[in-house]
Amino acid sequence: MHSSASSTPPASASRRLQLASLLRERWDLVALGLLAIAPLVIPALGGALGGQVTTLFIYCILALGLNVMVGYTGLVHLGIAAFFGIGAYSMAILTVPMYPFQMGFAAAAVISTLLAAGVGLALGAPTLRLRGDYLAIVTLGFGEVVKVTLRNLEQITGGMKGLNPVPPPGAGVTLGGVDLGMAFAIDPRYFYYLSLIVLAGVVVAMRRLENSRLGRAWVAVREDELAASAMGISATRVKLSAFAMSSAVAGLAGCLYAASLSTTADPNAYDFNRSIMMLCAVILGGLGSIPGTLLGVAILVGFDTVLAPWADSWIQQMNINPTGSSLLSFSGWRLALFGLALVLVMRFRPAGLVPSRRLAAELHEGQT
Amino acid sequence: MKLKPLFSKAANAAAIRAASSGTPLLDVDRLSVRFGGLVAVSELDLDVAQGSIVSLIGPNGAGKTTAFNCISGIYAPSAGSVRFEGRRLERSFAASTFWGAMGVGLLTGLLFAAAAVDVDRLWLAVIKRGMITGEPFTIAGAQARLRGYFRAELAIDQMAGKWRVVSADGLDVLAIKRNLADANSLRDDLQAAVTARRTGPGTVPDTSDLADVAQKIPGQSSVLPVKEDVLDRLAAGKARIRRRGWLGLFAGWILGTAGTIAVWQRGRRSAHVVAQAGISRTFQNIRLFSTMTVLENVLVGLDRSIPGGVFGMLFRSPTNRRGEKAAREQAIEALKFVGLAAEGNRIAGQLPYGDQRRLEIARAVATGARLILLDEPAAGMNPSETGELAGLVERIRDRGVTVLLIEHHMNVVMRVSDRVAVLDHGVKIAEGTPAEVKRNEKVIEAYLGPDA
Chain B, residues 57-96, CB within 8 A of chain A, namely: 72, 74
Which of B119, B120, B137 is closest, CB to CB, to A100? B137
Tell me whether residue B247 is in a domain.
no
Among the partner-chain residues B107, B124, B300, the one whose CB lies closest to the CB of A122 is B107
Alpha-helical (H) ranges within chain A are: 2-5, 11-25, 27-41, 48-67, 80-95, 105-127, 132-152, 154-157, 180-186, 188-210, 213-223, 225-230, 235-261, 272-285, 290-302, 308-317, 334-348, 357-367
In a domain, B258, yes or no: no
**Chain Cα centroid distance, residue A298:** 9
- Please tell me whether residues B164 and B294 are part of one structural domain: no
Measure A363 CA to nearest chain B CA, in Å: 10
Which of A116-130, B87-101, B198-212, B281-295 shows the lowest mean pLDDT across its residues?
Answer: B198-212
Nearest to B185 by CA among B220, B159, B137, B160: B220
In angstroms, the CA B259 to CA B104 distance is: 9
Into how many domains does chain B fold?
Answer: 2
Whole domain around residue B360: which residue ranges? 9-94+268-448
Q: Percentage of chain B surpassing pLDDT 70? A: 88
8 Å CB contact of B128 and A219: no
DSSP class of B170: S
How confident is residue A26, by pLDDT bands cut at 50, 70 and 90?
Answer: confident
* CB spacing of A232 vs B314 below 8 angstroms: no
The separation between the first and the last C-alpha atoms of chain B, rounded to the nearest angstrom, is 47
Q: How far is A5 from chain B (nearest CA, A)?
A: 25
Mean pLDDT to the nearest integer, B154-163: 84
Residue-averaged pLDDT of chain B: 85
Closest residue in chain A to residue B129, using alpha carbons only? A99
* Residue B327 main-chain phi, psi, to 5 deg: -65, -40
Chain B residues near residue A235 by CB distance under 8 angstroms: 272
Chain A residues inside the 8 Å CB shell of B300:
216-217, 220, 228, 231, 233
Give A101→chain B minimum CA distance, Å: 9
Check whether residue B437 and residue B293 sit in a common domain.
yes
Q: Of the ranges A20-29, A223-232, B175-184, which is most confident?
A: A223-232
CA-nearest residue to B325 within chain A is: A212
Residue B135 pLDDT:
77
B108 pLDDT tier (thresholds 50, 70, 90): very high
Return the axis-axis angle of helices B353-366 and B294-301, rounded to nearest 10°: 30
In a domain, residue B61? The reply is yes
| pLDDT(A12) > 80 | no
Chain A contact for B291 (CB, 8 A cutoff): yes
Residues B295, B404, single domain; the answer is yes
Q: At A243, is the pLDDT very low, low, confident or very high (cuts 50, 70, 90)?
A: very high
Residue B330 has pLDDT above 90, yes or no: yes
Distance, in Å, from the CA atom of B415 to the CA atom of B366, rounded to the nearest integer, reads: 25
Separation between Cα atoms, residue A203 and residue A192, nearest integer Å: 16
Planar angle of CA B237, B240, B245, nearest 5 degrees? 110
- Same-domain pairing of B174 and B80: no
E strand spans, B192-305: 279-281
Residues B197 and B306 both lie in one domain: no
Please check the confidence at residue B335 and state whether its pLDDT lies above 80.
yes
Which pLDDT score is estimated for B5?
A: 46
Q: Which residues of A touch B133 (CB under 8 A)?
A: none
Residues of A in contact with B137 (CB under 8 A): 100
Classify strands B87-88 and B279-281 as parallel, antiparallel or unpaired. unpaired
Alpha-carbon distance B445 to B452, whole Å? 7
Q: Cβ of A358 and B347 within 8 Å?
A: yes
Rounded Cα–Cα distance for residues A101 and A163 (Å): 14
The contacts of residue A137 (CB under 8 Å, 6+ apart) are A78
Whichever domain contains B358, its CATH number is 3.40.50.300
Q: Which residues does chain B have within 8 Å of residue A128's beta carbon, measured at their own beta carbons?
A: none
What distance in Å separates residue A193's CA from the closest CA in chain B?
22
> pLDDT band at A72, cuts 50/70/90?
very high
- B 260-279 residues with CB < 8 A to A: 263, 267, 270-272, 275-276
Pairing of β B371-375 and β B402-406? parallel
* A9 beta partners: none
State yes or no: cis peptide before A267, omega within 30 of 0.
no
Contact yes or no for A232 and B367 at CB 8 A: yes
CA distance, residue B256 to nearest chain A CA (Å): 10
**Do residues B90 and B167 both lie within one domain?**
no
Report the C-alpha gap between A326 and A318 in whole angstroms: 16
Is B15's pLDDT higher than 60?
no
Q: What is the DSSP letter of A326?
A: G
Question: Does residue B51 come out as left (phi exceeding 0), alpha (psi in the -120 to 50 range) or beta?
Answer: left
pLDDT for res B9: 46
Query: How confident is the model at residue A360, as a pLDDT?
Result: 60
> Measured between CA atoms, how close is A325 to chain B, in angstroms?
44
Q: Are residues B216 and B127 in the same domain?
A: yes
Does residue B32 lie in a domain region? yes
Strands (E) across B69-186 are located at 79-84, 87-88, 154-159, 162-167, 173-177
- What pLDDT is stored for residue B147 in this prediction? 87
Residue B87 and residue B139 in one domain: no
For A99, the closest of B127, B275, B313 (CB atoms) is B127
Taking 60 as the threshold, does the pLDDT of residue B1 lie above it?
Answer: no
Residue range B301-315: mean pLDDT, rounded:
89
Shortest distance, CA B114 to any CA of chain A (angstroms): 12
Between positions 43 and 72 of A, the ones with CB within 8 A of B are: none
What is the percent of chain A with per-residue pLDDT over 90, rounded to a whole number?
Answer: 52
Beta carbons of A213 and B272 less than 8 Å apart = no
Instruction: Give domain status of residue B257, yes or no.
Output: no
Cα–Cα distances (Å) from B437 to A268, B68, B378, B447, B450, in that order, read: 73, 21, 21, 12, 17
pLDDT value, residue A333 = 82
Question: Using one digit for the tens of pLDDT, what is the confidence trace for B367-413?
Answer: 999 999 999 999 888 888 899 999 999 999 999 999 999 999 999 99
Residues in chain A closer than 8 A to B303 (CB atoms): 213, 216-217, 231-233
Contact flag A100-B306 (C-beta cutoff 8 Å): no
Task: Answer with the residue of higher pLDDT: A85 or A30.
Answer: A85
Average pLDDT of span A148-172: 90
> Is B303 an interface residue toward A (CB < 8 Å)?
yes
Distance CA A100, CA B132 (A): 11
Alpha-carbon distance of B325 to A268, in angstroms, equals 48
A117 touches chain B (CB under 8 A): no
Per-residue model confidence as pLDDT tens digits over A299-352: 888 888 888 888 888 888 887 777 777 777 777 787 888 888 888 888 888 888
Residue B220 belongs to a domain: yes
Best CA proximity match to B297, nearest among A175, A217, A62: A217
Same domain, B367 and B310: yes
* Min distance B280 CA to chain A CA atoms (Å): 6
How far A309 CA sits from the closest chain B CA (Å)? 38
Confidence of residue B221 (pLDDT cuts 50, 70, 90): very low
CB atoms under 10 Å from CB of B318, counted, come to: 10
What's the ipTM?
Answer: 0.85
Q: Is A99 on the interface with B (CB under 8 A)?
A: yes
A227 in contact with B, Cβ within 8 Å:
yes
Contact A249, A60 (CB under 8 A): no
CA separation for the pair A164, A93 (Å, rounded): 9
Q: Is A234 on the interface with B (CB under 8 A)?
A: yes
In this predicted structure, what is the pLDDT of residue A214? 95
CA of B230: how far to CAs of A72, B186, B248, B275, in Å? 59, 16, 27, 66
- Within B70-190, strands assigned E span 79-84, 87-88, 154-159, 162-167, 173-177
B112 falls within a domain: no
In a domain, B356, yes or no: yes
Cβ-Cβ contacts under 8 Å for B372 (sequence gap 6 or more): B279, B280, B281, B282, B361, B364, B365, B396, B401, B402, B403, B404
Instruction: Determine the 3-state secondary structure of B90 from DSSP.
Output: coil
Compute the mean pLDDT over every residue in chain A, rounded to the nearest whole number. 87
- Cα distances (Å, whole numbers) of residue A193 to A48, A184, A199: 15, 10, 10
Q: How confident is the model at residue A362 (pLDDT cuts 50, 70, 90)?
A: low
Which is higher by pLDDT, A102 or A361? A102
Binary contact (B300, A216; C-beta < 8 A): yes
- Contact residues, chain A, for B72 at CB < 8 Å: 230
Same domain, B439 and B343: yes
Q: What is the pLDDT of residue A69?
A: 94
Main-chain phi, psi angles of B174, to 5 degrees: -95, -35
Comparison of pLDDT for B326 and A30, the residue scoring more: B326
Phi, psi of B39 (to 5 degrees): -95, 110
Q: Which residues of A290-312 are buried (b: 16+ CB within 10 A; e: fewer)?
A: bbbbbbbbbbbbbebbbbbeebb
Do B441 and B315 fall into the same domain? yes
d(CA B24, CA B85): 7
- Residues B56, B104 contacting (CB under 8 angstroms): no
Q: Are residues B309 and B225 in the same domain?
A: no
